[in-house]
Amino acid sequence: MTLDGELAKRMYSDMWRIRLFEEEANRQTGLGNVVGTLHLYCGEEAVGVGICAHLRDDDYILGTHRSHGHCLAKGALMDDMMAELFGKETGTCSGKGGSMHVADLSKNILGANGIVAGGIGPATGTAMATKIRGTHQVSVCFFGDGAAARGPFHEGILMGSLWKLPVVYVCENNGYQQWVRRENVAVVDSVATMAASYGIPGVSVDGQNIVEVYEAAEEAIDRARRGEGPTLIEARTYRYFGHSLGDREEYRTREEVDEWRNNRDPINIFRGYMSERQWLTEREDEEIQAAAKEDVAAAVKFADESAYPPLEAAHTDVLDTEWRVDA
Ligand SMILES: Cc1ncc(C[n+]2csc(CCOP(=O)(O)OP(=O)(O)O)c2C)c(N)n1
Ligand SMILES: [Mg+2]
């Protein structure tokens, strides 16, 4: 799909919607309205949006503990997501999953995941199911650079490659695994090079440049849909906030964060690209930001006015304990 002005505006708007949703979620956490912790995606928006721009509604995504951006980019409703963060019954998972477990089966969003690399096996399995059914649906699995050090990464990609499954593995390499710098725990710099072990293409892109992400995603998703097997995309990116709430960020300098925020911000980079092509006027830019702001405010109102799940709901959607004891 050629990237034209209209599509670019939609993608630019999606990036703003994610950015503002998360900044507001962070603020709401400070006010005590969000249940549990938060892992913010701010700074990484170009990856989720650039990849999901190519997905059909019936394609699948699986995420990580840092998945608000993936879910919004795939079409989850902001109202439902904010309600989920608030633990309300109108949330995507009836308020029982929270930030780290947002899922929306109606959008084929099979779930964020608190287990590092936890989505890679299910994404590979989903791709196998769609291959057997012959539906030409593609499964995309997002994961961090930390996941590339875990067994499911190697096992999943091996199977995906062996059986030529329609899956795209997207590593968001933000240079950190919690409070640890990647170079202190990895022996190869680029995750993309690891694709060679499994005989699939490995591509490394600048994750702050949505056009680069978009182009790499197009090739990988088309290849998967044609039945030629997986691709491993590594998007080099950066998270602006700490790993999760309460992170004192003693492992990095303020200057490093400012350098990325000021000079490598994905929204600013895309705005520049669009302006150069006269795809975005100042007025349109203002309108896009104002609309995103309104959507976020409406989502907070919706979440705020929704009810908490009733006490009895604690026993639904969970494994039956009697069954578990007897099994
Ligand atoms: C199997 C497992 N081990 C450890 C953890 C604790 N943990 C949570 S996030 C994280 C680091 C993840 O780093 P990365 O995959 O690079 O993702 P990022 O947070 O940078 O997006 C760890 C070790 C976990 N959730 N699951
Ligand atoms: Mg990381």
- The model's pLDDT over 228-241, given as tens digits with 9 standing for 90+, comes to 999 999 999 999 99
Is the CB of residue 177 below 6 angstroms from any atom belonging to ligand 1?
A: yes
Specify the pLDDT at position 111. Answer: 95
Residue of 47, 66, 116, 172 with the most ligand 1 atoms within 8 Å of its CB, for mutation: 116
Residue 318 inside a domain? The answer is no
Residue 323 inside a domain? The answer is no
Q: Could you tell me which residues come within 8 angstroms of residue 294 by beta carbon, excluding any fewer than 6 positions away? A: none
Confidence of residue 1 (pLDDT cuts 50, 70, 90): confident
Helix, coil or strand: residue 109:
strand
Residue of 39, 42, 113, 177 with the most ligand 1 atoms within 8 Å of its CB, for mutation: 177
Residue 302 inside a domain? The answer is yes
Residue 79 inside a domain? The answer is yes
Dump pLDDT digits (tens) for 47-98: 999 999 999 999 999 999 999 999 999 999 999 999 999 999 999 999 999 9
Is the CB of residue 66 below 6 angstroms from any atom belonging to ligand 1?
A: yes
Judged against a pLDDT cut of 50, whether residue 327 lies above it is answered with no
Alpha-helical regions (H) of the chain? 5-30, 45-52, 68-74, 78-86, 120-133, 151-162, 182-185, 210-225, 254-263, 266-276, 282-305, 321-326
Residue with the nearest Cα to atom 9 of ligand 1?
178
Domain count, the chain: 1
Residue 324 inside a domain? The answer is no
Mean pLDDT across the stretch 265-278?
A: 98
List residues bridging with 136 in a β-sheet: none
Residue 236 inside a domain? The answer is yes
Task: Using alpha carbons, select from 47, 66, 42 the residue that is nearest to residue 115.
Answer: 66
Number of the ligand 1 atom closest to the C-alpha atom of 178? 11
Residue 27 inside a domain? The answer is yes
Å from CA of 235 to ligand 1 middle: 17
Angle, CA 250 vertex, CA 99 and CA 42 arms, to 5°: 35
State which residues form the domain around 104: 5-307
- Specify the CATH number for the domain of residue 250: 3.40.50.970
Is the CB of residue 114 below 6 angstroms from any atom belonging to ligand 1?
A: yes
Is the CB of residue 179 below 6 angstroms from any atom belonging to ligand 1?
A: no
Residue 317 inside a domain? The answer is no
Specify the pLDDT at position 324. Answer: 55
Cβ-in-10-Å burial (0-12, 13-18, 19+) of 187 comes to: exposed
